[in-house]
Structure formats: C-alpha cells, structure tokens
Amino acid sequence: MKKIWVGRTSGETDKLCDDFNSSIKFDSRMYAEDIKGSVAHASMLAMCGIISPDEADDIVKGLQSIALDIKSGVLTPDPDCEDIHTFIETVLTERIGEAGKKLHTARSRNDQTALDLRMYLRGETDEIKEKAVTLIKALTDKAEENHDVIMPGYTHLQRAQPITFGHALLAYVMMLMRDVDRLSECRKRINVSPIGCCALAGTTFETDRVYEAKQLGFDGVCENSLDGVSDRDFVIELIGCISVLMMHLSRLAEETVLWSSSEFGFIHLSDKFTTGSSIMPQKKNPDMAELVRGKTGRVYGDLFAVLTVMKGLPLAYNKDIQEDKEQVFDACDTVKMCLDVFSGMIKTMTVDAEKMKEAAQKGFINATDLADYLVGKGIPFRTAYKMSGETVELCAKNGYVLETLPLEMYKTLCDKIDADVYKAVDLKTCVTRRNSLGGTSPESVKKQVACVRKMLTEIGSGK
C-alpha cells in the first residue's frame, strides 16, 4: 500500500523497516474510535467552511460504510498498512475519491492517534470500573452471608484476634471501592481532547476545537498543542490505577490460595474455577487465583515499560510513544479477565464455618479479651497484659484453652477472676463486643454492607 507521507522521501523503505515501524497489528482495535473521530472532524471542517457540506457528507457516509464493513468482517485491516489511521484514510479515498483526501486537513496523525487512544481508554476505563463493581457486589453478598462466621484474624500470618469472615471480605471490598474511585478520577484526565493540536504547533486554519471535542463527548481540550500530542500521562495513570487494582486482587488471590488449602480448609472453590494434577489424582489446584497473582507482575511490567519509554523524551511527538499502546492494551485486557474470573470464583465458593471456628479456638486469639476483662476488674492494662500472657502459658503447658481452663487455675494467677471470665473469653462474645465503627462484630459488618450498597447506588447514579 502506498505510503501517505511520500514526498520528502521516496517511501521505498526496507520490508524489515516496514514491519518494524507498523502498528496496525495492535492499533486496529481502535478502528471504531478512529472513524468516530474522523466523522466529528469532517463535521467541524464543514462547519468552519474548510470543506463543503457535500464533501463532508460524502466523507461521513464513506466512513460509516467502512465501520460497518470492518465490524461485519467484509473488510479486514491490511497488515501491510502502517497503522489503522492510514488504512481507513486510504480505503476512504478509494471509495469516495478526492473528498477523502481532504479529511486530514487541519490535523496530524500525532493528534489523531492521541485522540483515538483517549477515546478508546475512556471506554476501557468504564468497562474496568463496571467489572470491579461486579466483583465488589459478589464480595459484599458473600460478606453479608457470613457476617457472623467466626475465623481467626492474622498479623504476621500468625493467629491474632477473632474476626468474622464477612469482615475479612469487606476489607477487600474497601480496597476495590478505592480502585473504582481512582479510575473515576483518572477518567477525567483521559477525557480531554487533543484533536486540533496537529503535529505539534496547531494549525493555520480557522478551526473549532471545542466544537469537535464536544461532538466526541470530551470535557475539554488540551490547552497546549505541544503537550497535547506528546502527553501520555493518562496512559501511565491508567496503568498505575490498574496496577494498584491488580495488587489488591493479588492479595485476595493469596488469601484464596491459603484459605482453600488443606492446612486451612476455610473455603472450598468450585470445580469450575480449579484444575487437577496430571499425576496426583487427589489434587484440586487454585490455578485461577495463582494466575491472578502471577499476572499482577505482568501489569507492573506494563507500567514500568511506559514510564521508561517516556522518561527521556524531548518535545513533542517521538516514535517511541508508539510503544504505549501494546502495554496499556495488555494491562486493560489482563485486569478485565482477572476481574471476571475472580467474580465467578467468589460467587461459587463455599465457606466452612466450622473449620474457621475450630482454627479460631486453637490460637489463644481471645487473650486480648482476657486482658480487657482484667482491666474491667480494676487491674492496670500492662499488668493485665502480663497476667493474660501467663495464663496462655499455663494453658499451653496443661493442654487447655482459655475457654476450658478451670477456674481454680485462673485464680492462681489472679484472685479477682470469677466465673464470668468464661463469657468474656467466649469467641462469640469477643467478636460481638467489637462493635466500634468499622469493627468486626456481626452488627458492624451489617452496617458496612449497607454502607457499601449505598455507595454502589451512588456510583450507579453517577454521583
């Protein structure tokens, strides 16, 4: 296919260079955005008297026919073409003649590429948010179902204090809610139009950038043409938001792997979201969770790749910037798939409440509650803390837990301890009394669920 930039050079580049330079194999996914942008550009050119209304009408009809043909598979982007923008312009000219050559007036591939990418990523951001909300709903539903299921809470991966499983799941919900908020903020900076910045310096034609931006649903325009064509902050920010989201998914994946292991046995994953072993018939492997954990590193790589590409570039556009697309496309594709898989995995998993409670009973995780009980008896906290530790040691040596240690043995450590100690160290009491704002009690979990559902309603209404 003849190159659109023939003139200063012959255009007879080496085949190896053509392949090296081409981006159509990955930027063709933006064909709909490119056509939509070109339709708006033709409309603006006609409105400003730069082309005639008839020419604009021919251009728009030609572009619409190309969109339909690509979507239906009748027309396939030519892999020998440099990029999707060139391909569409070339086909348009072949179909409608000279009017097609006027479409590129008052724009450059530099601002055209930036425009297409911003429109495409705007849609990707909305889709990622939607999938994140689906996972949030799945986790919230599961948290509500298990608002009173007792499990050990951990610090340093050591049993620490009793919590409810609903409380644990809601911690991840809160992480994901922040991710949704970050994506919303990021979208605002994506939704700024660069079209009309042209190659780098603007144009000599009397154009209306604001009109064109409004036609395409942008909130505003890039105020500096040099920045408009060379800025890829929005790409970096989006991959950054996705990286944080993937980090949260990776943490949840790690918990899922642990919780579903035989050593924990807290949850059971559906056969639909696990695999087996080729040699060990007893295995049920949490491969989906492990893959999410692994793909997090891949997305981090996408982020660092674009940061590295951009770190030393002078103004304005440089061909290096073409390397942004494969990275951001990969990050978007990866996180969407991970969110879909996790939503299905959470919806179909089952919870073993007895196994969780059994684990909670073995770790002396109610020792803090014993100390609090002693404080209630008038003993200073630090003294109570020491007495509680000595009680745990006494239990460990004699094969008891705090709930079963005989009262006479309690009294050897502190004569203020009475029979009401057993209620104080009961695991159900321990979680029920932690009813502070954001705490682990069943009532607190219900309030957190209600709060999340309210926030989701506001997200749905666009507030």
Residue 113 has pLDDT above 50, yes or no: yes
Residue 193: phi, psi to the nearest 5?
Answer: -85, 130
Percentage helix, strand, coil for the chain under 3-state DSSP, each rounded to 5: 65, 5, 30
Q: d(Cα 256, Cα 109) in Å, to the nearest integer?
A: 46
> Tokens 């325009």 identify what position?
221
Question: 3-state class of 209 per DSSP?
Answer: helix
Output the six-digit token pair for 195. 């079209």
Give the least confident one: 6-10, 164-168, 218-222: 6-10
Exactly one of 10, 72, 156, 461 is catalytic; name it: 156
The end-to-end CA distance of the chain, in Å, is 49
Q: What pLDDT does residue 282 have?
A: 87
Told to judge if 167 belongs to the known catalytic residues of this protein, a careful annotator would answer: no
Look at residue 1 and tell me whether its pLDDT is greater than 60. Answer: no
Find the length of the chain. 463
Q: Where do the domains of the chain lie, and which CATH numbers do they carry?
A: 17-105 (1.10.275.10), 110-146+161-351 (1.20.200.10), 359-439 (1.10.40.30)
Let me know if 156 is a catalytic residue: yes
Q: Is 138 exposed, middle or buried (0-12, 13-18, 19+ CB in 10 A)?
A: buried
Q: pTM of the entire structure? A: 0.93
**Which residue type, as a one-letter code, is found at position 280?**
M
- Cβ neighbours, 10 Å, residue 77: 18
Distance CA 446, CA 166 (A): 9
Query: Using an 8 Å Cβ cutoff, are 162 and 193 in contact?
Result: no
Query: Residue 210 — pLDDT band, cuts 50, 70, 90?
Result: very high
Tell me the average pLDDT across 407-415: 94
Cα three-residue angle 218-221-222, rounded to 5 degrees = 135
pLDDT at position 350, please? 98
pLDDT at 5 over 50: no
Query: Mean pLDDT in the chain?
Result: 95
How far, rounded to the nearest angstrom, does the alpha carbon of residue 18 sit from its chain's CA centroid?
Answer: 35
Which pLDDT does position 411 carry in this prediction? 94
pLDDT of residue 363: 85
Query: pLDDT per residue over 287-300, tens digit each?
Result: 999 999 999 999 99
Do strands 267-268 and 158-164 pair parallel, antiparallel, or not at all (unpaired)?
unpaired
Point out the catalytic residue in the list 52, 261, 270, 277: 277
Q: For residue 209, which amino acid is it? A: R
Q: What is the rounded (10 degree) CA torsion for 240, 242, 245, 251?
A: -90
Query: Per DSSP, what are the bridge partners of residue 155?
Result: 158
Residue 198 pLDDT > 60? yes
- Which residues are within 8 A (CB) of 413 and not within 5 positions of it... i.e. 6 or more apart? 387, 390, 391, 394
